[in-house]
Amino acid sequence: MKETLDLRGLNFEEGYIAVMDKPLSWTSTDVVRKIKSALRRLGYRKKSKVGHAGTLDPLASGILLVCIGRATKMVDALQAEEKEYVADVMLGATTPSHDLEHEIDRTYPWGAHHAGSGRRKPSPRSPASGSKPRPSTRPRRSTGAHGLRTGPRRREVAVRQALINIYEMEIVEYDLPRIRIRVRCSKGHLHSFAGPRDRDRRSAAGRTSPRCAARAAADFTLEKSYELDEFLENLQKLETK
């Protein structure tokens, strides 16, 4: 059972980790900015440090660790810990970003290429472990001849390889072509993991991740997290510093 949130008597500058349930459509930076603004209203310095230990995309919900004060020194260590996600994967469709931030650009016959279900524990040589490129299409500002911003536009950028280790993967439920998986993995982007690999393109199959929820990070779990509104309401009840 989740404990009642009680922030009384805390000196946030000494260090505090807020275990948040990030709302859908919010960025991780949005959450940090909201908490930092609330702390400033309580009298904490403008330069008080607030940061998150791992980015969740706007279309992902779930656990987000927000480190405050001296706890920001733990960000790198927390990011390096194992993560657990539950994600919906749609077979037979792809988007440029591997999630629904973009429209579906290709569809494939999926039935003949995706078979099998159940629990999977990848070996070191398993295709589930290895370098996975992040999506190549990203918002970017271009510059003119004199280095001036000419406005936002989308362009192809170099793909950065990121090593992601999949420690455990399990099919939780399925209603084909949609499947729901639970993945325990290292630091990385699960929506990119759901994207097609080269051999999938050769076999005319594809997949994309329409929904993702982070359920665990380090020793923190979603069951013991707090809604952002609940956390902010408790901050408002505190006396001005």
Tokens 């990011």 correspond to what residue?
A: 79
Whole-angstrom distance, CA of residue 155 vs CA of residue 41: 40
Residue 133 token pair: 């490129």
C-alpha to C-alpha distances, 59 to 164, 182, 191, nearest whole angstrom: 20, 17, 10
State how far the Cα of 90 lies from the Cα of 108, in Å rounded to an integer. Answer: 11
Look-up of token digits 């994207």: 195
Q: What is the dihedral of CA 212, 95, 108, 163, to 10 degrees?
A: -60
57 is catalytic: yes
Which one of the listed residues 30, 57, 76, 99 is annotated catalytic? 57
**Contact (CB, 8 A) for 18 and 35:** yes
Give 193: exposed, middle or buried? Use CB within 10 Å, 0-12, 13-18, 19+.
Answer: buried
**Active site amino acids:** 57
